[in-house]
Amino acid sequence: MTAKGASAISSVQLVGAGAEDIFKNIFRPISGKNPVFSVGSILHGNIFDSDVLIDEVVIGCESSSCFSINCHGNPIIVENILELLKKHDVRITDARDVMTYMGEQKYGDNTIAIEAEIGQSQAATIYGAKIIRHQMKMGLLQAANWWLENLDTLELDDIKEGAGQVLNDSEIADLFIRDVKIVIAGPPNTGKSTLFNRLCGKEKAIVTDIAGTTRDWLSAKIRLKRIMAEFFDTAGLDQILSGQNNIDAESQGQAVELIKTADLVLYVVDFSLRGDDGIRKKLVVFNKCDLAKKLPAEGLNISAKTGQGIDKLIKAIEKALGVADFDVRKTVCFTDRQRGILKQAASASTKQQIKKLIQELLKGSIAV
């Protein structure tokens, strides 16, 4: 269940019928007494392969068919435990598959609740987890049940409009659930790399006074006020540089491609420069304001070198993305399956189509 690689602790989840019988064969408590695998109990002991000690572990009994093995995080130890479990006819699978099984045991055929159980663990922020959790009992689950119960009295257009509104709100909610992609772009030598380093809190990018120093992109994940963002430092956009040689042309091409897929572009220019380059989803940032004798009355003025205006910039980023004042209790969808169903509902032509779609939303199969 934990990430692969070396760590202090690793967790392996064992689920399914017969899980307790397997532990009776491989687990020996430190106390020397016969283990009692009661729900909610925590057991301390060792795992053995016959008489060969594999590791000292803590076993968590989460249900009658669900147990967690918390071992030391050496990948060799984890691999030895997995190999031992395979000897007992255990199928090794990934965390999502296991969580789906656990969700089905807990929520039955409530597909939205099962998806929420999985989604919460994968959300990039605490706000994202809260948004998803709200859909389990209220939010999307409540809206879908209400549509179904009142289908005869509701107007078809009202249901379609409601589905469309959920989809619209979901676009902003998604920014809390995943990492937001923010590209730092602009002309050469305007302080893009200095801003990138300032946001990172350390120097990751090389900074010089020579135009075109950054030829490849760098990225770093940075937690802002309400979201987790991956910032990309890119080569300066310059038609002259793009035609100098293959390397510069490739750098310009990479920057353009990153801009196309960004959730937001921080377009960094010198405080004295103004103009429009046609880039969409853009927040213009006027850098080097520490060198200005008089700052413009309008615009986002910062100094990446001194840190002046950075807090204001972060607030402006979240406002531009629409997350600053977003209510985490809104009704939203948070999986591709849900989005696909609601898109069909928003364009449905009959109530019978709507009914089938809502039933699929509530009790459909999860793509694992």
- Whole-Å CA distances, 33 to 23, 48, 57, 60: 14, 16, 16, 17
pLDDT at residue 102 tops 50: yes
pLDDT in tens, 57-99: 999 999 888 999 999 999 999 999 999 999 999 999 988 889 8
Q: State which of 280-284, 304-308, 364-368 shows the largest mean pLDDT.
A: 304-308
pLDDT in tens, 176-202: 999 999 999 888 888 888 999 999 886
Question: What mean pLDDT, rounded, does the chain reach?
Answer: 87
- Whole-Å CA distances, 140 to 47, 167, 222, 329, 356: 43, 11, 30, 10, 16
Per-residue pLDDT at 352? 95
Per-residue pLDDT at 213? 45
Distance CA 50, CA 255 (A): 58
Least confident of 26-30, 173-177, 186-190, 345-349: 186-190
pLDDT at residue 215 tops 60: no
Which of helix, strand or coil describes residue 218? Answer: strand
Give me the residues paired with residue 271 across strands.
none
Q: DSSP for 48-92, please give it.
A: EETTEEEEEEEEEEEETTEEEEEEE--HHHHHHHHHHHHHTTPPP
pLDDT at residue 278 tops 70: no
Query: pLDDT-based confidence at 209, cuts 50/70/90?
Result: very low
Give me the residues paired with residue 44 across strands.
58
Q: How many CB atoms lie within 10 A of CB 90?
A: 17
Domains of the chain: 9-92 (3.30.1360.120), 101-177+335-363 (no CATH), 180-321 (3.40.50.300)
Per-residue pLDDT at 207? 45
Residue 74 neighbours by CB under 8 Å, 6+ apart: 6
- Please say whether the beta carbons of 242 and 249 come within 8 A: yes
Give the residue among 160, 150, 234 at the shortest CA–CA distance from 190: 234
Q: DSSP for 302-339, please give it.
A: -BTTTTBTHHHHHHHHHHHHT-TT--TTS----SHHHH
Give the percent of the chain with pLDDT over 90.
62
- Segment 320-348 shows an average pLDDT of 96
- Segment 274-299 shows an average pLDDT of 72
pLDDT at residue 205 tops 80: no
Distance CA 219, CA 348 (A): 42
Per-residue pLDDT at 188? 83
Distance CA 234, CA 302 (A): 19
Query: pLDDT-based confidence at 271, cuts 50/70/90?
Result: low
Distance CA 236, CA 332 (A): 38
